[in-house]
Homo-oligomer: A and B are copies of this chain.
Amino acid sequence: MDNSRDGGGAVPEGVRLRDVVALLEEFYPVHTAQSWDRVGLVAGDPEQSVGTILLAVDPTLDVVAEAVALGADLIITHHPLLLKGIHSVATTTAKGATITELLVNDIGLYCAHTNADVADPGVGQALSMACGLIDTEPLQVTEDQELGRVGDLPEPVSLQQLATRLVEHLPPTAGGIRVSGPAAAPVRRVAVLGGAGDSAFEAVRRSGADVYVTADLRHHPALEAREEARAAARAGASSTPYLVDAGHYATEWLWLPGLRDRLAARLGGSVDICLSSVRTDPWDFVVGAGGPESHHSENHPTDHGGMP
């Protein structure tokens, strides 16, 4: 952890953990995180040397194993490891096993979460760029921070085209991108919010967006949002906003390449910076998914053979 444990008494040459922490707090000031969030240095001694940094969305056991294999000294993730406080680091829990693996391997962990969401460049900005938005403005202001973006496409595209283009920018996932709305409907104004988007429907409606690109939407909030859109549209307008659920992991992964480039530019050649090759989306495969031809109003056979 500190140099004395490495047997050397010499003052560390090159970059120390405190230097990387200072840089990250310049990029993502701690006071810009939401009050319930837990960001910053989660493991490590500010005096330890940093030669290799691994970037990932989630601090999973596989990501730590990747860091050990790489000889990394620091992992930077979007999601906090200890959002809920822990009372033990025994290896009998996943959190304890992860902390133990980090510490016995002298690997630090730093998390930039809602402070990275609101930064520019940051998570919301990266998703906005992946959608190709221009003239963006904040989607909502929460605890004095601008969370999410809303902006326009240079020209209207169909809902399906928007989703298809987004696929090209996102890391591949088993589940892909789910869409609620007519495939051919034109969209131009787009609201984006990386990660779980259930709580921002009211802001999306106020924004006048044709479509809301986010992730982790559950049945009831999504259906209620679509019902409100349909109720408002009964006089003949289109039932916007439509919904695009592009995956929690995938929408937030978009932030990592930009972070890598910024760190490299500032830390120079003395530190190696790697993007994790571990996909931390929990889903491994999908069966039975339909295609864009399966429209909302389409009937499905109500009697399945073998159905009890």
- Quick one: closest B residue to A164, CB to CB? B287
- Which residues of the partner chain B approach A305 to less than 8 Å between Cβ atoms? 168
- Which chain B residues border A178 with CB–CB below 8 Å? 174-175, 283, 285-286
Q: In the complex, what residues of B have CB within 8 A of residue A248's CB?
A: 218-220
Contact A88 to B40, CB < 8 A, known contacts A174-B290, A175-B178, A283-B179: yes
Interfacial residues of chain A within 122-145, with CB under 8 A of chain B in the complex: 126, 129-130
Does A270 sit within 8 A of B, measured CB to CB? no
Q: Which residue of B lies closest to A171 (CB)?
A: B300
From B172, B230, B294, give the contact of A290 (CB < 8 A): B172
Q: A3-49: which have CB < 8 Å to B?
A: 5, 38, 40-47
A263 to chain B, nearest CB (A): 14
Number of interface residues of A (CB under 8 A): 123
Contact B89–A286 (Cβ < 8 Å): no
B88 touches A41 (CB 8 A): yes
Specify which chain B residues have a CB less than 8 angstroms from the CB of A278 in the assembled complex: 297, 299
User: In the complex, which of the residues A180, A215, A307 has the most CB atoms of chain B within 10 Å of its own CB atom?
Assistant: A307
Q: How many copies does the complex hold?
A: 6
Give A143-193 interface residues, CB cut-off 8 Å to B: 160, 163-164, 166-183
Does A61 sit within 8 A of B, measured CB to CB?
A: yes
Counting chain B CB atoms within 10 Å of each CB, the highest count among A88, A171, A226, A308 belongs to A88
Apart from A175-B289, A245-B283, A286-B289, 17 more pairs, CB < 8 Å: A38-B88, A46-B90, A61-B227, A61-B230, A61-B234, A83-B87, A94-B230, A98-B231, A99-B103, A166-B288, A172-B300, A176-B289, A216-B218, A219-B281, A254-B307, A257-B303, A258-B308
